[in-house]
Amino acid sequence: MPDPAAVDVGTPWQAVAVGVAVLGEILAVVFVYRVLVRGGSPASTLLWMAVILVTPWLGLLLYYLLPRRLQLRRLRRVRVRGARLRRGRARGAGRDADPPGCGLQALLAGADGAGLDGGNEVEWLPGGEDFFRGAAVAIAAARAEVHCVVYIFRPDAAGLRFLDLLTAAARSGVAVRLLYDSFGSFGLKASHLAPLRAAGGRAVPFLPLLWKRRPFTVNLRNHRKLLVVDGELGFVGGRNVGDEYFTDRVGKSRYWLDAMLAIRGPAVGRLQDLFVEDWCTATDEVLAVAAPPAPRGDCRIGVVCSGPDREDSDLWFAVFQAIGEATATIELSSPYLVLPPTLAFALRLAVARGVRVRIYTNGPKAEAAVLYHAQRSHYARLLGAGIELYETVEQYNHAKLLVVDARNVLVGSANMDLRSAHLNFEVAAVAVDAPQLAAQVLATMDRRRADFRRVTEADLPTRPPWRAVDGFCALLSPLL
């Protein structure tokens, strides 16, 4: 006969275990409901449902730690205020606030927060020294404020030199605000930023890993590269701050290929508005929004963005619309090429209607093995559709740009991959009917083509093990 005392000792722990299990199942049902009503792709929804139901506590932990959206009440108020200001600016300038006609111009003109501004002067900056020289001159001449958003800020020679420029500007009384991504700029420490902060400048990490709204936000990254000086001059594109971005070198011999635009004119006001939003997200501080600068040129530019803090993506709407309007050529450059299915379909459709599509990306010597195998898993369908693929041989291609029909140009921070499409904060400038700018960009791409090799179907793997590796790495592409 069992000892009653022995049974009593185990009973409370058994009750706790049963209670935890029951609570887990109840919470699993609640969160499955949230997954269902939140929407998203069927594959993503089914995956989350399976993980939560099979392993409730692990699934709930992952669902909480890997957010896909940010709900920011104060940021929404900032956006509403900004929309009112922009409508007032349009009326004050005598512009029609309604989208004109249809197509890409109408999309940009009607986009919430994007807009299409005429009267801009735009400069193509393909080289690292071009960008950093222009940025250094602008920061040194700043009178009121310097605003910078960057994904990677390395505390190497180029990064410390850039910090010295910001520190000198802060010492002269300029309001310097630096926003860096906490994950991408992991090596940037408080000791590196101490001189800037001592001079009165502000340096704030974007979504630090221990953030008050979520304890672990590594899944959401601010991938934007943006510099605005005095609200009059803006730089936007793919360059971060570090030696390779400054010298256009990887190591001692390999080249780093990238792209930036310098903009003067009313469109800079849109870049400034975007910084105000990002600063509010990071600090809850609402900055004043100044009037946009006066016209300086004849280029029409729309500033578009995407991110987990907004429902719709002006940036990806613009990409799809530009591709959909193409009648002759599409030139696309992206360091990573794990295309979202809808984008791959849009490019294949363009080829089907007679458009020549060329894509420039990185080869196996330049890219990490997992990333390269993930993108190579898509090559057979792209090549089969008639798309021309070019890979770097030794160099590294970091340029993120799109040129359509030698007249519409998009330059920004977004890669053509799932992470940029769904998780990252991204920005781009779209120049509409800008044949002169398009000619400069295409001339740069023509010169760089010597560093690429064209991929053919003969280059695709035929052995089952390598095809399996490509397929397995493609499964990991949403996490890369």
Q: For residue 400, what is the domain's CATH number?
A: 3.30.870.10
Query: Residue 363 in 3-state DSSP?
Result: coil
Q: Supply the DSSP symbol for 327.
A: S
Is the residue at 101 inside a domain?
Answer: no
Looking at the structure, do residues 228 and 339 belong to the same domain, yes or no? Answer: no
Beta strands in 129-223 (DSSP E): 145-150, 175-181, 202-206
Confidence of residue 95 (pLDDT cuts 50, 70, 90): very low
Is the residue at 6 inside a domain?
Answer: no
Confidence of residue 103 (pLDDT cuts 50, 70, 90): confident
User: Where is mean pLDDT largest: 3-7, 74-78, 95-99, 119-123?
Assistant: 119-123
Looking at the structure, do residues 289 and 424 belong to the same domain, yes or no? Answer: no
Looking at the structure, do residues 252 and 325 belong to the same domain, yes or no? Answer: no
Looking at the structure, do residues 273 and 374 belong to the same domain, yes or no? Answer: no
The residue behind tokens 């959401």 is 220
Is the residue at 302 inside a domain?
Answer: no
Which stretch of DSSP H or E encloses residue 320?
helix 314-325
Residue 361 has pLDDT above 70, yes or no: yes
Q: Please report which residue ranges of 326-457 form alpha helices under DSSP H.
A: 341-352, 369-376, 379-384, 418-422, 435-448
Instruction: Give the distance, in angstroms, between the CA of residue 134 and the centroid of all CA atoms in the same chain.
Output: 23
At 237, which amino acid appears?
G
User: Where is mean pLDDT largest: 58-62, 134-138, 281-285, 306-310?
Assistant: 134-138
Section 76-83 average pLDDT: 58
Looking at the structure, do residues 356 and 404 belong to the same domain, yes or no? Answer: yes
Looking at the structure, do residues 220 and 352 belong to the same domain, yes or no? Answer: no
- Residues facing 219 on adjacent strands: none
Active centre residues (catalytic): 223, 225, 230, 398, 400, 405
Structural domain boundaries enclosing 286:
73-96+121-296
Query: How much is the pTM?
Result: 0.84
Query: Can you tell me the distance from the alpha carbon of 450 to that of 448, in angstroms, rounded to the nearest whole number?
Result: 5
Query: Residue 59 in 3-state DSSP?
Result: helix
Reported as a single tens digit per residue, the pLDDT across 126-140 is 999 999 999 999 999
Give percent of the chain above pLDDT 70. 84
The residue behind tokens 């004119």 is 265
Looking at the structure, do residues 249 and 396 belong to the same domain, yes or no? Answer: no
Between strands 426-432 and 408-412, the pairing is antiparallel
Section 144-168 average pLDDT: 97
Is the residue at 410 inside a domain?
Answer: yes
**Domains contained in the chain, number:** 3
Is the residue at 113 inside a domain?
Answer: no
CB distance 321 to 103 below 8 Å: yes
Looking at the structure, do residues 285 and 348 belong to the same domain, yes or no? Answer: no
Query: Can you tell me the distance from the alpha carbon of 413 to that of 181, in angstroms, rounded to the nearest whole number?
Result: 14
Can you give the length of the chain in residues?
A: 480
Looking at the structure, do residues 346 and 422 belong to the same domain, yes or no? Answer: yes
Is the residue at 208 inside a domain?
Answer: yes
Give the pair of three-digit tokens for residue 11. 């009973």
Is the residue at 109 inside a domain?
Answer: no
CB distance 456 to 391 below 8 Å: no
In angstroms, the Cα distances linking 260 to 52, 121, 232, 288, 403 are 43, 14, 17, 27, 14
Looking at the structure, do residues 172 and 78 belong to the same domain, yes or no? Answer: yes
Section 17-45 average pLDDT: 72
Is the residue at 307 inside a domain?
Answer: no
Residue 85 has pLDDT above 90, yes or no: no
Quote the pLDDT of residue 413: 96
Looking at the structure, do residues 288 and 339 belong to the same domain, yes or no? Answer: no
Looking at the structure, do residues 153 and 218 belong to the same domain, yes or no? Answer: yes
